[in-house]
């Protein structure tokens, strides 16, 4: 046994004996502000109390999660998260390659040179916290309360990154001469414009003919229970900025003005009412949503001269972006709207059919949690949209998503080790000798 660590007694509403009875090891660390990892065969002596840590719950995934969550990595700043991961991966034989594009840090790490390649993908950047006064604890000082780990990025998606690293460490320890390759593609530009992150790394890999066979994205896919839903595809996303042209004038003389709101209203109503497709067994029907309308000077007696509208299609594999554009323009033209329109394609739809990766994930989830997982393509876009076009099978699998991007974002501590076990079993299914 190592020598005990002696700490000055801190003021607290409960004594240390209570902590030992009620809290897991890692919460004792947080309470005492101990560095992680901590030698678990060494007791803590606090004033006149001694805490024997032998046999208390220890989670490698939680330890690494805490390290990552302490980094204020708001898009596009990585704040050393990738270095923390790379240090761990390099120790187990990964070749580390940093790819920086503009102000974005990206990590490509690979162990092995042969196919097939199983890639873990994700992001270290997080969304802004909002007002700190609204949080019950500092968003970048992770805290465990009532079995939940709180902190910005806890659900989206630093705990999944930790689970991926730990799973890889355990797998390599068991199978040092595994077949194929394990890779990590990590960016700090997923929550932002996503122009210098995964898409640029994929382009660089494609240029040197480096391919992925399977890709596990650690996005928080679960809804009510870990593993109850995995995303085997995503809808496409097409955005439009519509400018309708009119003629400004006085509201008392409408014959001298052209109101762009009036001229566009029937066309917009038809766009809203149009059934674009009926979806299919994997995708819901395509959705059209107007997100912004702006017109006018703010005065009540002025007919506006222009109207600016933003709208979005989330579309299935039953229709293409070009077909959506053509039908939209036909409707606008039929209603004699005078307009300019700018299109932005954020991502193509993709689908990973049932096969090796889906089967491996379903079996792993069943073995670890005892539940049957549901395949889904719902929700927003992810960086999987940049990887799928390369031909890789892509699947999103992570923790519960109920609190992502919210105040007091959190994850169930009890889900962290099972997630690492699921990832490890997928590795074993696909790459074990």
Which are the catalytic amino acids? Answer: 125, 190
Asked whether residue 410 is marked as a ligand-binding residue, the answer is no
Is 156 annotated as belonging to a binding site? yes
Beta bridge partners of 123: 187
The tokens of 35 are what? 């560095």
DSSP state of 428: H
Q: Are 193 and 366 in contact (CB under 8 A)?
A: no
β pairing state of 148-150 and 181-187? unpaired
CA pair distance 86, 109, nearest whole angstrom:
7
d(CA 342, CA 329): 12
What residue spans of 335-398 are helical by DSSP H? 356-369, 384-387
Distance CA 409, CA 189 (A): 20
User: Does the annotation place 405 within a ligand binding site?
Assistant: yes
Alpha carbon separation from 275 to 292, 332, 381 (Å, rounded):
21, 16, 22
Alpha-carbon separation of residue 298 from 243, 252, 294, 295, 309 (angstroms): 18, 16, 10, 8, 17
Structure-block tokens of residue 376: 């889904």
Helices (H) and strands (E) in the chain, counts: 11, 22
Among 73, 82, 110, CA closest to 94: 110
Q: Is 219 annotated as belonging to a binding site?
A: yes
The position carrying tokens 């955005």 is 239
CA-wise closest residue to 310 among 262, 266, 268: 268
419 and 122 in contact (C-beta within 8 Å)? Answer: no
Token match 């031909």: residue? Answer: 391
Nearest to 316 by CA among 344, 281, 346: 281
Contact of 402 with 142, CB cutoff 8 Å? no
Three-state DSSP class for 254? helix
DSSP state of 294: E
Residue 58 assigned as binding residue: no
As annotated, the binding site for Zn(2+) includes: 123, 156, 191, 219, 405
User: What residues form the annotated binding site?
Assistant: 123, 156, 191, 219, 405
């Amino acid at each position: 046994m190592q020598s005990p660590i002696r700490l000055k007694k801190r003021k607290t509403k409960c004594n240390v004996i209570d902590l030992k009875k009620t809290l897991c090891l890692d919460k004792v660390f947080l309470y005492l502000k101990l560095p992680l990892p901590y030698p678990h065969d060494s007791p803590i002596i606090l004033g006149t109390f001694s805490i024997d840590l032998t046999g208390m719950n220890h989670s490698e995934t939680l330890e690494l999660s805490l390290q990552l969550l302490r980094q204020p990595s708001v898009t596009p700043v990585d704040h050393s998260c990738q270095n923390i991961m790379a240090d761990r991966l390099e120790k187990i034989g990964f070749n580390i390659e940093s790819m920086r594009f503009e102000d974005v840090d990206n990590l490509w790490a690979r162990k092995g040179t042969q196919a097939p390649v199983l890639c873990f993908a994700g992001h270290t950047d997080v969304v802004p916290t909002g007002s700190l006064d609204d949080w019950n604890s500092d968003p970048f000082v992770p805290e465990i309360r009532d079995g939940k780990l709180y902190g910005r990025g806890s659900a989206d998606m630093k705990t999944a990154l930790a689970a991926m690293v730990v799973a890889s460490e355990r797998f390599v320890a068991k199978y040092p001469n595994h077949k194929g390759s394990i890779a990590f593609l990590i960016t700090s530009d997923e929550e932002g414009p996503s122009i210098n992150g995964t898409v640029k790394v994929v382009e660089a890999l494609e240029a040197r003919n480096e391919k992925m066979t399977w890709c596990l994205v650690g996005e928080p896919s679960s809804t009510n229970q870990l593993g109850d839903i995995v995303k085997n595809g995503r809808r496409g996303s097409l955005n439009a900025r519509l400018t309708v042209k009119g003629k400004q004038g006085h509201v008392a003389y409408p014959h001298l003005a052209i109101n762009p709101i009036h001229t566009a209203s029937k066309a917009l109503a038809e766009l809203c009412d149009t059934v674009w497709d009926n979806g299919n067994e994997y995708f819901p029907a395509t959705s059209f949503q107007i997100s912004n309308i702006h017109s006018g000077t703010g005065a009540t007696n002025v007919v506006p001269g222009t109207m600016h509208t933003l709208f979005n299609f989330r579309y299935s594999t039953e229709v293409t972006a070009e077909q959506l554009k053509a039908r939209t323009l036909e409707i606008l033209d039929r209603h004699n709207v005078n307009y300019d329109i700018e299109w932005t394609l954020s991502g193509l739809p993709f689908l990973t059919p049932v096969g090796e990766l889906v089967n491996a994930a379903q079996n792993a989830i069943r073995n670890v949690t005892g539940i049957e997982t549901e395949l889904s393509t719902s929700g927003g876009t992810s960086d999987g949209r940049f990887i799928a076009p390369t031909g890789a099978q892509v699947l999103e699998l992570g923790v519960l998503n109920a609190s992502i991007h919210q105040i007091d974002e959190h994850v169930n501590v009890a889900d962290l080790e099972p997630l690492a076990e699921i990832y490890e079993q997928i590795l074993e299914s696909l790459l074990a000798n």
